[in-house]
Amino acid sequence: MKQILSFLIFLCLLAYITKPAYAASGTMSISPNTGSYNTGSSFSVDLVIDGKGDSFNAAEATVKVSSNTQINNLVLGDCGFSFVKTPTSTDPSFTGVILGGSTTKCTAYALILTPLSPGSATITLTKAGIKKYGNATELLGTTQNALYTITGEGASSSNRTPSAISPQITLAQTNPENYTLSLTALTSDNTPIGNAMVNIDNNANSSQVNQLKAETDTNGQATIHNIGPGVHTVKVEKDGKQVSQTILNFTGTNPVLTLGVKEQKQPANWTIIIIVGILIFILAVLLLLRSGFLKAIKHAA
């Protein structure tokens, strides 16, 4: 018996000593990462960040889309990132952080792509990282690039339906003095939100004086010019209710930032729920008192 016990202890010690060192297992991937698409036909892919059970609050990647594929739009996902490096249709590379929170898995953004010529189209992720919430240890284990087959069976260039094209941009040698935001507001099921107000707040590091705003058109699009460089809070409101709030950093040599935002789920306002509950309770008690219910119970007792 003693020998068996010793053997078991030995096995436990062996298992402990030889256990594999903690390896980062988080992933950053494009989904779907394979498929066959026709030239001229748009399709959507997501950039998904997965901590594989670990909470993270920051991620970044240099994202390159092959030149035979056009990015029609970039719509921010459900990570709730504030961006140090803001991803745009022109450059989808990003550095984002969840301020005061974390998640275990989320979609950074969706890319709406249109293949331009037959062959292979790729999306590659490099210089990527995912940081664990709390101590910022690296969680990223693998990145998964995308490789698509593009066939020429789609609409020909002569009868192709025109798609939204990002403004032609001439890269300046230095950072521009002011930026333009070309924003599309969408519901959670990608319906454009028209007549919504887009507000850009000042920040302490910006020389900008006035709050900038614009109203979205029927396509959910609004363009705001003369945005000072630096960090700004971009709010979208519809009928007095907030649709989304995103912190973006306007920086870099590209003067136009083109991206989309989706309607964010509003958290339950527990204060109002509790107050309403208390009021309903008081009202119920008053009604009972008025009906003499309590008096009857007392009399019966």
Partner 1 sequence: MSSIYVNNSASGIVYPTNTSWQIPVTLIVGANTFTIYGKDSLGNQSPSTLTTINRNRLGDIDGNNLIDLTDISLFATDWLKTSGFNYALSNMNGDSIVDLTDFSIIAKQYGQ
Site residues (CB under 8 A) for partner 1? 56-60, 82, 84-85, 95, 97-101, 129, 131-136, 203-206, 230-231, 233, 247, 249, 251
Secondary structure of the chain in the HEC alphabet? CHHHHHHHHHHHHHHHHCCCCCCCCEEEEEECCEEEEECCCCEEEEEEEECCCCCEEEEEEEEEECCCEEEEEEEECCCCCEEEECCCCCCCCEEEECCCCCECEEEEEEEEEEECCCEEEEEEEEEEEEEECCCCCECEEEEECEEEEEECCCCCCCCCCCCCCCCCCCCCCCCCCCEEEEEEEECCCCCECCCCEEEECCCCCCCCCCCEEEECCCCCEEEEEEECCEEEEEEEEECCEEEEEEEEEECCCCCEEEEEEECCCCCCCHHHHHHHHHHHHHHHHHHHHHCCHHHHHHHHC
Q: Please provide the size of the chain in residues.
A: 301
- For residue 28, the minimal CB distance to partner 1 (Å) is 12
Beta pairing, strands 179-186 & 43-50: unpaired
Residue among 84 and 214 whose Cβ is closer to partner 1: 84
Name the minimum Å distance from CB 175 to partner 1.
Answer: 11
Minimal distance, residue 250 CB to partner 1, in Å? 10
Report the residue number, 65 or 98, with the smaller CB distance to partner 1: 98
In the complex with partner 1, which residue's Cβ is closer, 82 or 221?
A: 82
Minimal distance, residue 126 CB to partner 1, in Å: 14
What's the closest the beta carbon of residue 133 comes to partner 1, in angstroms? 7
Q: For partner 1, which is the closer residue by CB, 103 or 114?
A: 103
Name the residue nearer to partner 1 (CB basis): 59 or 256: 59
We find the least distance from the C-beta atom of residue 179 to partner 1, in angstroms, to be: 14
Least Å from the CB of residue 103 to partner 1 = 12
Judged by beta carbon, residue 163 or residue 205, the one nearer partner 1 is 205
Tell me the C-alpha distance between 2 and 198, whole Å: 75
Is the Cβ of residue 77 or residue 80 nearer to partner 1 in the bound state? 80
